[in-house]
A and B are shown apart, each in its own frame.
Chain A
Amino acid sequence: MSAAISSGQGRAAARLGLFLLLLPAILWLGLLVVLPHVEMAILSFSQRIRAGVYGFGFGNYLEFLTEPLYWRTFGRTAIMSILVTLITLVISFPVALYIAKVARGATKPILFLMCLIPFWASELVRTLGWMMLLRETGVASYLMQLAGLTYGPVELLYNDGAVILGLVYGGMLFMIVPLANALESLDDSQVEAGYDLGGSGFTVLRRIIIPHAMPGIVAGSIVVFMLSVGNFVTPVLLGGKNGLWFTEQIYAQFITRFNWPQGAAFGFMLLLLSTLIVWAGLRLTGQGFSETLRRS
């Protein structure tokens, strides 16, 4: 654009253009992201001194550490999310390999698109599907009774297994897409050479295929982990009272108990957790943040 303009007044126009383009970006990031987080930080360090009077203090964080329900829920959320990520990876890897390497011709894009379809449906709809399948009066229980496997209705909902199932289901797409993209670029001759040099199927997988897919594995795992940790609907609806997810605690503090400083401190703990895990994942595998995000 600088091309069409002469120097002096052109520079002023270019500055104006820059300013006009910067304005929405700064308003967006400033008012909707940065300042709200600053506010949350301030809030998390304010504690009640007496009725209606708040002052600086670590009380909210101390409360988090001393109340077993809180830190147990936190730890549980972290561990289960890691578990969900691993299970998702294991389940998705063969499918991604199939899409990237085995499927030929028109099958390949069809399989790929079929993976995407369920994720155009809302998270809520997907969760509803699992509720209908798993609950006492649901499809699975009904079919088991029909087959004579059980005599009465079986409750498959409201346990950790159901929560993990729901989260894995919700994360699969975000694992398969980066994995398939990474495996796509794997040169078949490398795999052939691996076998040719006497490698077994397992060695070829471990030494050639998995290292090649590493960028996809990292990208997919990070996204799945983030989605699990930050999820709300799945643990609440599939886990019921036993769901105990940290986002629920945040919601409860903010909306139900109206204890915003405590909720803000919880929010920061969650943010810290996800940042830490993402950072560790990137560190361990030597990947960059921006590229990884773009890839997913």
Chain B
Amino acid sequence: MWNNASPAFRLYVLAFYLFLFTPLLVVALFAFNASLFPAPPWKGFTLEWFTGEGVIFGKPGILKDPAMLRAMFTSLKVALPVTVLAVVLGTANAFLLERKEFPGKSLLAMMMLWPLVIPGVILGISILAFSSRIANGLESWLNMDLDFLRPGLFLVILGQLSFILTISTLIIAARLKKFDRNLEEAAYDLGAGRWRVLTTITLPFLRPAMIGAGLVALLMSFENFNTTLILVGSDAPLPIYLYGQMREGATPAVNAASLLLMLVAGSLAVLVAFANRGEGR
């Protein structure tokens, strides 16, 4: 009965997908516009906003712009530790949730979901306020500066981790739930010790989920805005830097950077899809 959907219905769905992709296409398209402004009319195709030295428009392309490159590098400096910590601690949490029994477990499991429903701005300000209190207390006690507890990359990493860890925990715990405990018992039975069982049986089974969680963490860290905005110090990661540029009235360089960000995100998404396919085994 669903097969003969009315033309109006089909047209609606088509319009929806147009609506979905138009903003992204516009961003991508105007990254190649040979104009100082990211706006119509179309003045011809150029790669100047990617690789230009700044001779034509007076502003360099993103791959030649030290400020832009520094922002990208800053993003990476945040994303890598977040990813590693999210996978390692997420795995530990998964074992805690799936393998251990202790009083208050259901409360803890509930608490782990909590960061997902806290707006990012609030996560940011609460961590900022708390770390400042700690810093003030410790500094007057130790009589030394604790700059890492002041807005900066360390706090950005912690702030992003506070909710990304929930997601990595959920992904890895879901995989661990599907694990057949007999496999571990069989390995013990064949003479393996704890460590060998973990490294040869359990972790290889979890690997697709760990890779998937890592990629998702990488992506979320790269794109996070709200929490990062509050906790950031003088070194701005890419989204914060772009936000600044956009408020000032941007050049197509911002489009070029956005396109790059989309491409990176897209390839990460493809990798996630592959990691998920690996889970079937």
- List residues of chain A with CB under 8 Å of any chain B CB: 1, 3-4, 17-18, 20-22, 24-25, 28-29, 31-40, 43, 91, 94-95, 98, 101-102, 104, 111, 114-118, 120-133, 135, 137-139, 142-143, 169, 172, 188, 191-192, 195, 226, 229-233, 237, 247, 250-251, 254-255, 260, 263-264, 267, 270-271, 274-275, 278, 289-290, 293-294
A57 CB, min distance to chain B CBs, angstroms = 17
B93 interfacial contact with A, CB 8 Å: yes
State which residues 1-44 of B face A: CB under 8 Å.
1-3, 5, 9, 12-13, 16-17, 19-27, 30, 37-41
- List residues of chain B with CB under 8 Å of any chain A CB: 1-3, 5, 9, 12-13, 16-17, 19-27, 30, 37-41, 89, 92-93, 95-96, 99-100, 102, 108-123, 125-131, 133, 158-159, 161-162, 165, 170, 184-185, 188, 193-194, 197, 219, 222-223, 225-226, 229-230, 239, 242-243, 246-247, 250, 254-255, 258, 261-262, 265-266, 268-269
Let me know if A233 and B243 touch, CB within 8 A. yes
B3 cross-chain contacts in A, Cβ below 8 A: 102, 104
* Nearest-neighbor residue (CB-CB) of A275 within chain B: B117
A98 cross-chain contacts in B, Cβ below 8 A: 5, 9, 13
Let me know if A254 and B247 touch, CB within 8 A. no
Given known A-B contacts A28-B89, A230-B226, A274-B117, A36 and B129 have beta carbons under 8 A apart? yes
A271 cross-chain contacts in B, Cβ below 8 A: 118-119, 122
Does more than half of chain A's interface fall in helix, strand or loop, or is it mixed?
helix
A264 CB, min distance to chain B CBs, angstroms = 6
Contact check: which of B95, B108, B226 meets A232 at CB < 8 Å?
A: B226
B6 CB, min distance to chain A CBs, angstroms = 10
- Complexed CA–CA distance, A243 and B258 (Å): 23
A290 cross-chain contacts in B, Cβ below 8 A: 109-110, 113
Let me know if A250 and B125 touch, CB within 8 A. yes
9 closest residue pairs by CB, A with B: A129-B23, A230-B119, A36-B126, A36-B130, A32-B162, A122-B223, A142-B40, A39-B130, A21-B96
* Nearest-neighbor residue (CB-CB) of B131 within chain A: A36
Q: Which of A38, A137, A293 gathers most chain B CB within 10 Å?
A: A293
Let me know if B247 and A237 touch, CB within 8 A. yes
A172 cross-chain contacts in B, Cβ below 8 A: 20
Does more than half of chain B's interface fall in helix, strand or loop, or is it mixed?
helix
- Complexed CA–CA distance, A111 and B14 (Å): 10
- Complexed CA–CA distance, A3 and B123 (Å): 41
- Complexed CA–CA distance, A142 and B16 (Å): 22
Let me know if B125 and A40 touch, CB within 8 A. yes
B126 cross-chain contacts in A, Cβ below 8 A: 36-37, 39-40, 264, 267
- Complexed CA–CA distance, A104 and B1 (Å): 13
Given known A-B contacts A21-B95, A33-B162, A293 and B116 have beta carbons under 8 A apart? yes
* Nearest-neighbor residue (CB-CB) of A195 within chain B: B1
Let me know if A137 and B37 touch, CB within 8 A. yes
B117 cross-chain contacts in A, Cβ below 8 A: 226, 274-275, 278, 293
A111 cross-chain contacts in B, Cβ below 8 A: 13, 17
A56 CB, min distance to chain B CBs, angstroms = 16
A219 CB, min distance to chain B CBs, angstroms = 12
- Complexed CA–CA distance, A293 and B166 (Å): 11
* Nearest-neighbor residue (CB-CB) of B17 within chain A: A114
A124 cross-chain contacts in B, Cβ below 8 A: 223, 225, 239, 242-243, 246, 258
